[in-house]
Amino acid sequence: MKNYKTQMEAAKKGIITKEMEIVAKKEYMDIEKLRSLVACGQVAIPANINHTSISAEGIGTGLKTKINVNLGISGDCKNYDVEMQKVKMAISFGAEAIMDLSNYGKTNTFRKELIAMSPAMIGTVPMYDAIGYLEKDLLEISAKDFLKVIEVHAKEGVDFMTIHAGINRRSIEAFRRTGRKLNIVSRGGSLIFAWMEMTGNENPFFEYYDEVLEILREYDVTISLGDALRPGCLDDSSDAGQLSELIELGYLTQRAWDKDVQVMVEGPGHMAMNEIAANMVIQKRLCHNAPFYVLGPLVTDIAPGYDHITSAIGGAIAAANGADFLCYVTPAEHLRLPDLSDVKEGIIASKIAAHAADIAKGIPHARDLDNAMAEARHKLDWEEMFKIAIDGEKARNYFESTPPADKHSCSMCGKMCAVRTTNMILEGKKVEFCSEK
């Protein structure tokens, strides 16, 4: 019988779990080094004891940058079959995590199916599910009611939960004092803020934080400390509201670790490129090097329809400077629930950002595929290029849409392909264009 409840407790006791072994192998990391990073909280391995289909992943210091895919139904889009198609697409493209953000009706049937079949980590925001699950309006929900929803999600096998515990009376005071263009853009954060203002009570997740931790510890659920006061536009970034909440999140991180509960800390949001690196340093300092999970950051506010690009730019900079986990953003951000095409574009953009950052950080073997692609291009081996590409199907479709006369080039350069020309010269051949038939 196991003599530990969580990955962190095992690591503190010097125990190597099967999940640690899986992660160490994936990451080319010495198992003892990984154990020590889990023990001190710099790496989290979100793996609920009831999620039996999971293929464990690590998030944090020295590991590959992971990506998360958000999906789930809303009152305007209720087709769970489409959401399951999105799940399968996310898994096929190698997304390490999927968050079910469904916020309409009874969501547990889909969530149970998702947990049963998914090798990827599953995350939720219990606050989104509270009204539908409890069948109560916001003002009617008690503090202890919120904890019931957390327990239900934990029992079902959710690996990590976004819990907005840092938006307490202190951080709200800083938020009010500062003033913002976009106020609160976090859906869960806005609901907690509304509940606090209507009831006059403290944030229930903060007030009853120890009880929250006991539930999470029982099932080894990683707490993802939500950034309710994240900036929703460039003008609000790095303000007193954001930073005051971050201070609270650092305090809550240490309290979770004291109970052997694994932690991730969530971050911005919208932010100009010149602020991103500093924010990563501040977060790691205030939150004791806990894994950092960022939405974007989106580096400009004027590109609706293209926010998978604004997010990938910010995500690459953030991850290269210490962020560990990127939440994808789709072209539909700010506009509508994403469809299958949007989800694919968002995944690819996020994967590119994560991979580019891993190269910059010197993650072991991060360059292997890039080197393999260079070799394939050197040989003008198109099949190998398509095999290596993140989206080989798209690459093939582009290549074949305007087929070249010479199979050893593409339709852009034709026989004037630089690689072909150089290869021929180095092989001692003549390069002739006019006389070639």
| Per-residue pLDDT at 371 | 98
Pairwise pLDDT comparison (75 vs 275), residue with the higher score: 275
Q: Is 350 annotated as a binding residue?
A: no
Confidence of residue 283 (pLDDT cuts 50, 70, 90): very high
Return the CATH class of domain 7-361.
alpha beta
Mean pLDDT of the chain, nearest integer:
95
| Per-residue pLDDT at 415 | 86
Q: State pLDDT tens for residues 235-258.
A: 999 999 999 999 999 999 999 999
Q: Is 413 annotated as a binding residue?
A: yes
Q: Is 398 annotated as a binding residue?
A: no
Q: Is 287 annotated as a binding residue?
A: no
| Per-residue pLDDT at 74 | 74
Q: Is 365 annotated as a binding residue?
A: no
Q: State pLDDT tens for residues 137-195.
A: 999 999 999 999 999 999 999 999 999 999 999 999 999 999 999 999 999 999 999 99
| Per-residue pLDDT at 355 | 98
Q: Is 334 annotated as a binding residue?
A: yes
Average pLDDT over residues 20-48: 98
Q: State pLDDT tens for residues 73-102.
A: 776 767 888 999 999 999 999 999 999 988
Q: Is 339 annotated as a binding residue?
A: no
| Per-residue pLDDT at 1 | 66
Q: Is 293 annotated as a binding residue?
A: yes
Q: State pLDDT tens for residues 337-396.
A: 999 999 999 999 999 999 999 999 999 999 999 999 999 999 999 999 999 999 999 999
Confidence of residue 436 (pLDDT cuts 50, 70, 90): low
Q: Is 142 annotated as a binding residue?
A: no
Q: Is 417 annotated as a binding residue?
A: yes
pLDDT at residue 284 above 90? yes
| Per-residue pLDDT at 437 | 52
| Per-residue pLDDT at 94 | 96
Q: In the chain, what are the domain boundaries?
A: 7-361, 368-426
Q: Is 233 annotated as a binding residue?
A: no
Q: Is 70 annotated as a binding residue?
A: yes
The 3 state secondary structure assigned to the chain is CCCCCCHHHHHHCCCCCHHHHHHHHHHCCCHHHHHHHHHCCCEECCCCCCCCCCCCCCEECCCCCEEEEEECCCCCCCCHHHHHHHHHHHHHCCCCEEEECCCCCCCHHHHHHHHHHCCCEEEECHHHHHHHHHCCCHHHCCHHHHHHHHHHHHHHCCCEEEECCCCCHHHHHHHHHHCCCCCCCCHHHHHHHHHHHHHCCCCHHHHCHHHHHHHHHHHCCEEEECCCCCCCCHHHCCCHHHHHHHHHHHHHHHHHHHCCCCEEEEECCECCHHHHHHHHHHHHHHCCCCCEEEECCECCCCCCCCHHHHHHHHHHHHHHCCCCEEECCCCCCCCCCCCHHHHHHHHHHHHHHHHHHHHHHCCCCCCHHHHHHHHHHHCCCHHHHHHHCCCHHHHHHHHHHCCCCCCCCCCCCHHHCHHHHHHHHHCCCCCCCCCCC
